[in-house]
Amino acid sequence: MEMCLFQRTSKTHSSSSSSTISSRMINCVLLSVFASLVYLLVSLSRFQSKDTIDAYFLSSQDQSQSPTEIDHIVFGIGSSIKSWPARREYVRLWWDAQRMRGCVFVDRPLTSLVNDTDSHLLPPICVSEDTSRFRYTWRKGDRNAIRIARCVLETVRMFNTSSEEVRWYVFGDDDTIFIHENLAKTLSKYDHTSWYYIGASSEIYHQNSLFGHDMAFGGGGIAISSSLANVLAKIFDSCIERYPHLYGGDSRVHACMLELGVGLSHEPGFHQFDVRGNALGILTSHSTRPLVSLHHMAHIDPIFPNSTTFSAVRHLFSAVELDPLRIFQLSVCYDRWHSWTISVSWGYAVQIETRHLFLRDVLRTQKTFRPWKNSGGLASVYTFNTRDVHPDPCQRPVTFFMEHVSSSPSDGTIKSVYKQAYQNCTYDPISSPRKIEEVRVFSARLDPDIRQLKAPRRQCCDILPTSSNGGKVLDIGIRECKEDELIYIHP
């Protein structure tokens, strides 16, 4: 600055020059102080601005990552006056009347005989709106598909003005069984303010080819973020008018999603279950993602022996109540002494192979079931890897089914007990796993955070020492694998 730059002057002007120099020095000092104050204020302002911005984004991040609870979900359940009396007991297993919101849509009002005194334990009954104005041209199909599709629109209209926050709308059939804690955890991975259409396809290749490989099948359940559902409801009737030739309600939802430019976010925990017979193979090879839903349970054999279909599902829920996120989760360990491969499908079954199998072979689904239709061709082709089961039951893995589950009040350790399913087979009492009568599995409640849910890892298991005489009891512990631990056949 010029006022701070001065040169030497002659002695004749020393007095005046000295005064001038002093004045300039004072001005220079004052200006420097002023500049420093301005710089300090600007710096503080910047820091405060940065802190404010950081706080804003931190607040936004916290809000987007807040976990979804069951209270944030609204259910729309497609039913009819004909099917509801037989299927409402399945809904009662998973419905929490204190925390859940939603409606069961039927075609006409229920009689007083059906709508009895225990209705407070079930979702409210809603009579669907008239859909006779819409065309339906699928030959030999059921035009109820239009009514079921419009459950989406009617549910959103009913709840989008609710004073309580709605993050997700979830739709299913009256024989869809939801594991509601797992559903909420799964949806917590997604931002409900963005457009998400979530579910899973069929297990049968032909079903997917017929209706859509990228479609969420309604029986397995469909989850739609509230931001998307509100837009979908506005234009849904126009979509229905354009697609009279489609078969089901889920096909109409899918077609409208495509018109909105939204694709399927696939979650393997939703199960359409387009199979029949013994579902053991599917259930014991479940994904590492949480079990969200089961469908068509009345079309498969009871999942536990010596049981009815409903009592078997109710028995499964005794394990779900204690550790829902671990249900069906598969852990594999190897017994080097006997050369056994031991698979624990928690809360359901333990299987022991009398040989060592590579893990990739263990994880292939045992073909214990049969397809939805026995027409051959693509109707018998599955969408996952399978392995054949031995035609002789005595040559198959020895299977132990869950008997009961309990939790220790002192340390929270969960013990699940599995009893051997009887087979009239001869065996070596020394080396055969058939000598084992009971398997006890010890674990801690599985409670992954959002990061672990997005990138799940299979847990490890160990064969534990036991004081049982005669080798009739096998103890197994399940735990998190160490960072570099492998699940493999030890030499």
- The structural domains of the chain, with segments of one domain joined by +, span 23-51, 70-280, 325-479
Reference 132, options 108, 158, 103, 156; nearest CA is 108
For residue 118, what pLDDT is reported? Answer: 74
Angle at 360 between CA 354 and CA 365, to 5 degrees: 75
Task: Annotate 255-319 with three-state secondary structure.
Answer: HHHHHCCCCEEECCCCCCCCEEECCHHHHCCCCCCCCCEECCHHHECCCCCCCCHHHHHHHHHHH
Q: Where does residue 389 rank: exposed (0-12), middle (13-18), buried (19+ CB within 10 A)?
A: middle
Compute and round to an integer the Cα radius of gyration of the chain.
32
SS3 190: coil
Distance in angstroms between the alpha carbons of the first and the last residue of the chain: 82
**The token pair that represents 462 in the structure block:** 């160990």
| Cβ–Cβ under 8 Å, residues 338 and 314 | no
| Cβ–Cβ under 8 Å, residues 284 and 366 | yes
In whole angstroms, give the CA distance from residue 250 to residue 273: 15
For residue 114, what pLDDT is reported? Answer: 58
SS3 350: strand
For residue 192, what pLDDT is reported? Answer: 97
For residue 62, what pLDDT is reported? Answer: 42
Report the half-sphere exposure of 276 (CA within 13 A, side-chain side): 8
| Distance from chain centroid for Cα 183 | 5
| Cβ–Cβ under 8 Å, residues 32 and 26 | no
At 429, which amino acid appears?
P
Angle at 370 between CA 366 and CA 375, to 5 degrees: 140
For residue 47, what pLDDT is reported? Answer: 45
For residue 46, what pLDDT is reported? Answer: 52
pLDDT in tens, 442-464: 999 999 999 999 999 999 999 99
| Cβ–Cβ under 8 Å, residues 401 and 349 | yes
For residue 288, what pLDDT is reported? Answer: 97
Q: Where are the alpha helices (DSSP H) in 293-406?
A: 309-320, 359-362
For residue 32, what pLDDT is reported? Answer: 65
Query: Strands 438-443, 177-178: parallel, antiparallel or unpaired by DSSP?
Result: unpaired
| Cβ–Cβ under 8 Å, residues 261 and 196 | no
Alpha-carbon separation of residue 45 from 31, 36, 49, 360, 454 (angstroms): 21, 14, 6, 59, 39
pLDDT in tens, 65-91: 589 999 999 999 999 999 999 999 999
Continuous segment of H or E residues that includes residue 222: strand 222-225
For residue 394, what pLDDT is reported? Answer: 95
For residue 14, what pLDDT is reported? Answer: 45
| Cβ–Cβ under 8 Å, residues 127 and 98 | no
> Which sign does the torsion angle of CA 67, 72, 78, 80 carry?
positive
In whole angstroms, give the CA distance from residue 148 to residue 100: 20
For residue 375, what pLDDT is reported? Answer: 83
For residue 445, what pLDDT is reported? Answer: 97
- Quickly tell me which residue has 């672990």 as its tokens: 452
In whole angstroms, give the CA distance from residue 281 to residue 70: 30
Q: Output the pTM of the full model.
A: 0.85
Reference 438, options 459, 458, 419, 410; nearest CA is 419
Could you tell me the fold of the domain covering 70-280? Spore Coat Polysaccharide Biosynthesis Protein SpsA; Chain A (3.90.550)
Length of the chain: 491
Reference 342, options 475, 458, 442, 446; nearest CA is 475
For residue 25, what pLDDT is reported? Answer: 62
Mean pLDDT split into 10-residue runs, the chain, 491 residues: 41 47 60 59 50 45 70 97 94 96 95 67 95 95 96 96 93 97 97 97 95 96 98 97 97 98 98 96 97 96 96 98 98 94 98 96 96 88 95 96 96 97 91 95 96 96 84 95 94 75
Helices 151-159 and 226-242: crossing angle in degrees, nearest 10, is 140
> Which sign does the torsion angle of CA 249, 253, 256, 261 carry?
negative
For residue 491, what pLDDT is reported? Answer: 75
Phi/psi region, residue 226 (left: phi>0; alpha: psi -120 to 50; beta: rest), is alpha
CA dihedral in degrees (377, 383, 384, 390; nearest 10)?
Answer: -30
In whole angstroms, give the CA distance from residue 39 to residue 125: 68
For residue 117, what pLDDT is reported? Answer: 60
**The token pair that represents 104 in the structure block:** 């069961």
Instruction: Supply φ then ψ for residue 439, to 5 degrees.
Output: -115, 130
